[in-house]
Structure 1
């Protein structure tokens, strides 16, 4: 009996060693794959590994032996779940692997914005300190984190880890109820109250039809003047053109963004076409410390091994 074929469609998206499953198998990997290539390459696969290659109904139709899609990430919005279920294909994802890394990256963005790090670095490079009449250079106004209200949209592991770090800085941390919810859970703020009262709004929720463009022009307009917006979740949560407008008008105090609507942004992006001291964009690397990626790789292998042994885990 032939061994099940495991095909990793975009191996280069995980630049750390990936241990092979202990169960008997054939392993095939590609640096990257288009959707059309995925349909071709999964023709004999029992397991497909994908990080960012969409698994569409068309791809599934070309993969008659496929039994499992192992997503090498937490987000699985690139997977047509209805089509998978219709064909009896299981889908599993990675969970709670980037708790420390994403929370630390979020706090890094927050500290850099609150303490005006980009602006002061630019001032020093331009010689402003050298020309200062006194011992220091007073530039953009800075804020302490202590006493600021941080509102978190998403109370999962990443949101909770970020809340833990923020409380250590003395911040007033609140979680935000779902937009349009009929009731508000104890300890939560309703969506509109959070927008109006947050000094910092941080996104840690998945991208779904309900959360797409959650922070749009109307939401930004309701935010407290001078507030900071952080997004280390998914780019589609934020209307990027509206965000840029809010920064340029001065309504929003700053934004720290690790994700964009399209990644990589080969067709450009309005947030990349400007140079603003209160806008920090990092290239989707909050999860990408060596330790974090190695935890992901280990869990990916464990997920596949468990499925091949008839003990599926982390199913979505």
Structure 2
């Protein structure tokens, strides 16, 4: 049984224990990363493939006659053409919930940094501004408490619910968005998005990127938000209209934004948001999921997916 890992570097494997993966009855070939034009050659005689962000489309699947299992080192499934995999009798599995704790703490690091003005105040402490002040403290940037404020959450999976637990500890009210054409069986407090946005002091996105959610937060939605509200996106970059968010920040229509994701990653061709002229913006390079503990859990799920498959079962199958 031959296995190929297409983009091991995306796991930050230097600080991970991969021994359980390598102990499987699989002969592994490991690549740090794989350019698209190399994928066909690299998996041509593979039985099992692990990929995180290296796409596997229908044309590649058609040239991998031995392939039986693709285990995605992620929750999202958009890197693989699932119908084509099914047509070629290739099982596709993913990973779930491995990064919940890591993402939740990152969400709150962004919320707290924006509402306490952590970064600008840190800069004034080291650039001499504080030393030149006649007062014992600086009050140049508005700091706001979270207690009694409203958190609007779009997406009620494990991440949205995990963020909710922390919000409740801060004494916040939490309201979930009810998106169009969706049926909800839970009893969570919900409002239509257009009604939720004017009420929210913090809006946090935790939904998948689909055709229905692409550009979900655009100029009309931003115009509904309070000018004291902050927007958090640790989901997928395409859920927001980046140009609209840029303009909303410049015009002061919203008070801040914390983003861990962009529409194209890495932003090799730049991005309208990566500009020092955009105020009250924090961007992190898709690291919300990346705590060492979360990545180790991810490896454990890959081992579980493969072990189950070798035993004739399917674990976390998505196609």
Q: Which of the five TM-score ranges fits, normalised by the shorter chain?
A: over 0.9
1:88 matched residue in structure 2: 89
TM-score (norm 2): 0.94
1:298 matched residue in structure 2: 300
The aligned length equals 313
1:261 matched residue in structure 2: 263
1:247 matched residue in structure 2: 249
CA distance in 2, matches of 1:75, 1:182: 22
The Cα RMSD (Å) is 1.6
**5+ unaligned residues in a row in structure 2: which ranges?**
none
2:149 matched residue in structure 1: 148
8 A contact 2:57–2:81 mirrored in 1: yes
8 A contact 1:114–1:143 mirrored in 2: yes
CA positional deviation for 1:179 = 3.4
The alignment status of 1:166 with 2:167, answered yes or no, reads yes
8 A contact 2:177–2:196 mirrored in 1: yes
Written as runs of structure 1 = structure 2, the 5 A alignment for 1:1-316 is 4-15=1-12, 16-18=16-18, 19-20=20-21, 23-181=24-182, 186=187, 187-316=189-318
CA positional deviation for 1:136 = 0.9
CA distance in 2, matches of 1:297, 1:184: 33
Deviations 1:257-278 (A, max 9, x none): 0011111111111111225451
Q: 1:184 to 1:219 in 2, by over 3 A?
A: farther
Q: 1:5 to 1:160 in 2, by over 3 A?
A: same
Partner-residue secondary structure (3-state), 1:288: coil
TM-score (norm 1): 0.95
CA positional deviation for 1:85 = 1.6
CA positional deviation for 1:226 = 2.3
Partner-residue secondary structure (3-state), 1:315: coil
CA positional deviation for 1:134 = 1.8
CA distance in 2, matches of 1:216, 1:71: 30
